[in-house]
Structure 1
Amino acid sequence: MDVSSISNSISPLLDSQKVSKGKEQDNTFSNMLSDAMKEVNNSQVEGYNAMEGIATGKVKNLQEAVQKIEEADLSLKLALEVKNKALAAYKEITSMQV
């Protein structure tokens, strides 16, 4: 089985990982969490703007506005579920006896 084509296609990815390890570590948990919360916030703002546009009649494409509202709703639900799972895991860890 010839894997040279696979290794050739993976090598640019490995090179980019080596370069990113040389830079500052931007992949900390707090940075990823902050970025995720910013994305949720941005989708919420877009959803509210779309709702306002529908209410005032300024929306030209109703389907796109409804899509933004649904995306905002789903992203908020996902963020809440992730928070609930994290809190449940934290509570379970703190209740463990050492």
Structure 2
Amino acid sequence: MPCHRCSSGAFEVIGSRERKVRKNAGQIECYITRRLRCLVCRKIHHELPNFMIPYKRYDARTIEEGIRPSEPLVLPLLKLNIELPNIQESDFNYLSQD
């Protein structure tokens, strides 16, 4: 993993911190992440596993499920139980250009 500021790959471990992550059902799990300092520019980074997203409190799976709908957004009219009026072709005569 290279440093985002200077592209160096040299880090030293300077400690750890607790990180709380919310799951889909609302339960909170605590993880310990390592704090790393770049040896070149001295910027501090946190080593995150791939299911954690920086600056977000929900795990990646929960965020993906919230973005991706479980059903199509355009539902068939029959599924919505909407009765449509009988529309005739003559109802659209005002649209024709005479």
TM-score bracket, normalised by the shorter chain, equals: under 0.3
The structure with more radius of gyration: 2
TM-score, structure 2 as length reference = 0.26
TM-score, structure 1 as length reference = 0.26
* Higher share in helix: 1
